[in-house]
Amino acid sequence: MLLGNKFHTPSGVQYAGYPGKTLNLTQGVDGAYSHEGSMAIDDAGEDVGVDRRYAPADMRCSWKDAPGGVNGINYQTLAPVLCRDGILRNFTFRMVHDNYIDDIKVGDIKRQGEIIGHEGVAGKATGNHSHFVVGDGWIAGQGLVKNKYDIYEMKNELRPWDVFFVDNTIIKQGLGYRWATFAQYVAEIKAQMKVLNLETQIIEKAISEVLISPTGLKVTVEKSAVVK
């Protein structure tokens, strides 16, 4: 996503945007270096410089590191947003390694598309990058637990590509994950409906309310919609 982007479905539901202009993963989920057993990703952005990071939705800062740590910051959605997997949910987004977070306070509200931080090397990171991880729901406090590999992971972790749409994001290195724009998501829904012999004569306003969940296809439409 880009600075100032506001993403909404045709019916006005906010959907989650990837928090950067360029997606360039240097370590993926379950990465052997420091992500074993975790759904975290490391994103080095456009180049070796310092990229800005944007709020993926309307969010509130719920927790931040003490000075001298890895400069982790947690943000929670203000209201449920549509995620890439078709589920309308609240989530907790954690970003790590920003060099300077003194200007961020717990309780601060950031609207979708506003700057929430930058890449960095805080915590002795190797090269400028951001460590991203997402937890399902509003997770209290730091929200981290050690897993069986002695790696800190967030509670109720989600796969990032199941959360973020990549509208206006350049995918430089996506590691083969199932990234998609909102338009691609809608196209997938239409294809699924066709496979299931559901007619796709549905008004554009209602497309946003047709959701695919991990357990199968769920179709809901607004009262004004006509499905034949």
Return the CATH fold of 22-173.
Glucose Permease (Domain IIA) (2.70.70)
Q: Does residue 203 have a pLDDT over 50? A: no
Q: What is d(CA 23, CA 21) in angstroms, rounded to the nearest whole number?
A: 7
By C-alpha distance, which of 78, 34, 74 is closest to 58?
78
Q: What pLDDT, on the 0 to 100 scale, is given for residue 197?
A: 60
User: How far from 190 is each of 30, 144, 177, 179, 183, CA to CA, in Å?
Assistant: 32, 38, 21, 18, 11
Q: What is the mean pLDDT of residues 161-179?
A: 97
What confidence tier does 195 reach under pLDDT thresholds 50, 70, 90? low
Q: What pLDDT, on the 0 to 100 scale, is given for residue 223?
A: 42
Q: Quick: pLDDT tens for 24-81.
A: 999 999 999 999 999 999 999 999 999 999 999 999 999 999 878 899 999 999 999 9
Q: What pLDDT, on the 0 to 100 scale, is given for residue 54?
A: 98
Q: Quick: pLDDT tens for 98-148.
A: 999 999 999 999 999 999 999 999 988 889 999 999 999 999 999 999 999
What confidence tier does 11 reach under pLDDT thresholds 50, 70, 90? confident
Q: What pLDDT, on the 0 to 100 scale, is given for residue 4?
A: 97
Q: What pLDDT, on the 0 to 100 scale, is given for residue 222?
A: 44
pTM assigned to the model: 0.86
Q: What pLDDT, on the 0 to 100 scale, is given for residue 67?
A: 79
What confidence tier does 196 reach under pLDDT thresholds 50, 70, 90? low
Q: Quick: pLDDT tens for 213-228.
A: 444 445 554 444 444 4
By C-alpha distance, which of 89, 73, 75 is closest to 15?
89
Q: What pLDDT, on the 0 to 100 scale, is given for residue 189?
A: 81
Q: What pLDDT, on the 0 to 100 scale, is given for residue 225?
A: 43
Domain spans of the chain, in order of start: 22-173, 182-219
What confidence tier does 186 reach under pLDDT thresholds 50, 70, 90? confident
**Which comes out higher in pLDDT, residue 189 or 1?**
1
What confidence tier does 198 reach under pLDDT thresholds 50, 70, 90? low
